[in-house]
Chain A
């Protein structure tokens, strides 16, 4: 075993995380190499310095009370999600009626005016955006503001190379990336942050290489912009206002204007 290899394995050994064969190899190496043996002894000293009870922060008593009372409030709001009353029953009934009308109309309208692919996709994207913000840890698979970390992360995970740029100096900070399954395929998703708003930017190769201009829509209070350029489809969504999201879309398409 080389000293370089032992240098790291000593830590696994110290933590009792090596299998028997590896442990024996490390022991053998330390018998032969005084430098590594000393490094190991020094690490055991460091460990004993860390085994000090006063380094452990214990929660103040009031914190437990504070948490318990906020949990009770939360539990109550789960049992009675807002005040349930007759008003809601009326709302429910009218929704059901509208749904019925909808189904009837749907059956009789010609195919051509039914929602297009874009509209269905927009709905899919809104749901995905909401889900990404709801689940802890779901927003990013790779958390980094460094484009040179995020871009290679997609290698081998998708069959295309999404353009990854950070616009921190324009105050659209790259926050990370993740994979999503949308529009029946795996798409690259970049996450940007502006103040407290997150922007999800979905990218996947376009079927036709024809570039299209920006199209904007609004759904459930979210702004969406989509376009096709350089053979890629782009969809950006955020709760950010339309003007700023448009500014973001322009940056992605043209890069920063100096």
Chain B
């Protein structure tokens, strides 16, 4: 009887966040089928560990599990994505790389944005998706990604600059062609 209640409570707390889970998994795996498999696996894991959840924020709790499941999945599939060391310094782009005259002045086309965001290294992509699409606070992003608050802000800053650079280059290329 109690177990049935567990399922009902779980579904009530966690199932409403299915879109958030799928959105994150899709942006991380960049693929429909993989995203579905990862989300299903994450829900099973979440259910097993539901005893450890104390009702604060179902969405953050679930997204942390989805993210972990994605990373495990990528490890198992030897995704080239993770073979790049997660060393921030390697990804540094200097401000001088950004031509001040070439800053983004108009809204970019959605297809272009999707492609540019998909091509960002995963550690920038994940914080941008959580911040811009999921509209989460730095605190929630920090707890999901297991990063210090300061790192969340600097990854967002770098990720946005890279995205901006990619979009500006693309828009210029289009104007020229």
Instruction: List residues of chain A with CB within 8 A of the CB of B35.
Output: 57
Chain B nearest CB from A30 CB (Å) reads 14
Chain A residue at smallest Cβ distance from B46: A136
Mark out the residues of chain A between 147 and 197 whose CB falls within 8 Å of any chain B CB in the assembled complex. 149, 175, 193, 196
Q: Which one of A42, A144, A193 lies within 8 Å of B86 (CB-CB)? A: A144
Instruction: List residues of chain A with CB within 8 A of the CB of B18.
Output: 59, 63-64, 67
- Interface size on B (CB < 8 Å)? 65
Q: Which one of A11, A35, A46, A74 lies within 8 Å of B163 (CB-CB)? A: A46
Q: Which one of A35, A46, A55, A71 lies within 8 Å of B104 (CB-CB)? A: A46
Q: How many Å lie between the Cα of A58 and that of B6 in the bound state?
A: 26
Q: How many Å lie between the Cα of A79 and that of B45 in the bound state?
A: 17
Chain A residue at smallest Cβ distance from B64: A137
Chain B residue at smallest Cβ distance from A40: B103
The B interface is mostly helix, strand or loop, or mixed, namely helix
Chain A CB within 8 A of B172 CB: no
Chain A CB within 8 A of B11 CB: yes
In the complex, per-residue mask of B3-24: 1 if CB is within 8 Å of any chain A CB, else 0: 1101100110001001101110
Mark out the residues of chain A between 17 and 58 whose CB falls within 8 Å of any chain B CB in the assembled complex. 17, 35, 38-39, 41-43, 45-52, 54-58
Most B-side CB within 10 Å, residue of A10, A39, A63: A63
Question: Would you give 30 A-B contacts (Cβ < 8 Å), ordered by A?
Answer: A11-B153, A42-B103, A45-B106, A45-B107, A46-B104, A46-B108, A46-B160, A46-B164, A47-B132, A50-B132, A52-B113, A55-B110, A56-B23, A59-B39, A60-B36, A67-B18, A67-B39, A71-B10, A71-B11, A71-B43, A71-B44, A72-B7, A75-B6, A78-B6, A143-B71, A144-B87, A145-B85, A146-B87, A149-B87, A175-B75
